[in-house]
Amino acid sequence: MVSASRNEKFRVEEKGITFARVWFLSQSWVSKETITVNRRLDEWVKLEQLDLDSVEAVVDEKVEEKGATGLKMTRHQKRKIDETHVEGHEELDAASLREHEEFTKVKNIATIELGRYEIETWYFSPFPPEYNDCLRLYFCEFCLNFMKRKEQLQRHMRKCDLKHPPGDEIYRSGTLSMFEVDGKKNKVYGQNLCYLAKLFLDHKTLYYDVDLFLFYVLCECDDRGCHMVGYFSKEKHSEESYNLACILTLPPYQRKGYGKFLIAFSYELSKKESKVGTPERPLSDLGLLSYRGYWTRVLLDILKKHKGNISIKELSDMTAIKAEDILTTLQSLELIQYRKGQHVICADPKVLDRHLKAAGRGGLDVDVSKLIWTPYKEQS
């Protein structure tokens, strides 16, 4: 039996990980939290998987100095607790809140089964307490109900009459379909989708009040049904001009252009609304990369084809991209200068060609002629 305090650290050498914090929670299971690397590598491991013969214990001096009392909860910590919606957290003291925040840093569900894929998860998701002892969950790929055991899923699939997400199909092109799901009309589906998404998004706020959101679920369709590949959500009414609250492409479908397709789709909806839009912040690491790539490609394509001068406002009107996002993107490409009190776009053709080549392919295109949609209006 190896004994160690909760705050003890060990140096390990495994798959490029050079430093890890190991929490001993029982004689059987431990939590391995990687330090200074992406938290996707955090995981639960069996105690026998650890080789502790030559590890170096390092005491966390900050923890020792402060102890377990006298801790003040920061605004960031409180927000993190609020996001995971812990029942009864008002009665917890600061030390307990800190302990909870530490615990939720490590993913609780190791893998899920969704359709024909077994997917390794990345992050913690606050499933109901009865699922705390599950390392694997089984999802119905159509209604997104989740179960503890394979046989439960098999029984459910014999009864589930859905072959696509609930809601309205607003786009179909080839084998791709997009469904608009109203969180108010399909509350359980919306909540289950949020549970699922949180397994792969580190910075996502888990929304239990899904009534306020619309979910746009992208599917690959075949003779067995419409299989979810990703989605984005948006608030029904956003004072900040957000046209997207959360975006996810499921791991088996990544690197196929679906992320940029979802982003492009959100902007096509903004154009239909005659509005400019921007994604809600903070963006995940993958989300930021996808958005910067999309903005770059769209703006470069226009600048390449456009003859004469063009302003940031004109670009915004053409693309529905918020002016601030256009400005930061062009600045990152060094295509903009500040002259005589205003920003001037400097689009040298050779520079544009170089940036276009570096930007790579643009991903899947949205065929606007296949989009059948009217903006959301609250029913009286």
* Structure tokens, 116: 């024909």
137 contacts 112 by C-beta, under 8 angstroms? yes
65 is catalytic: no
Distance CA 100, CA 80 (A): 10
Question: Residue 227: is it exposed, middle or buried by C-beta count within 10 angstroms (0-12/13-18/19+)?
Answer: buried
Among 280, 314, 334, 378, which one carries the catalytic annotation? Answer: 280
Name the β-bridge partners of 138. Answer: 113, 147
> Alpha helix locations (H) across the chain?
61-66, 75-84, 94-103, 150-159, 187-198, 258-272, 285-305, 312-319, 323-332, 349-359
Instruction: Classify residue 239 by its DSSP letter.
Output: T
CA distances from 64 to 32, 35, 69, 350 (A): 21, 19, 11, 59
Q: Is residue 87 exposed (0-12), middle (13-18) or buried (19+ Cβ within 10 Å)? A: exposed
Contact by Cβ (8 Å): 216, 231 = yes
Residue 321, token pair as written in the block: 């991209």
Structure tokens at 242: 């957000």
Q: CA separation (Å) from 268 to 134, 162, 374?
A: 40, 28, 12
Residues serving a catalytic function are 280
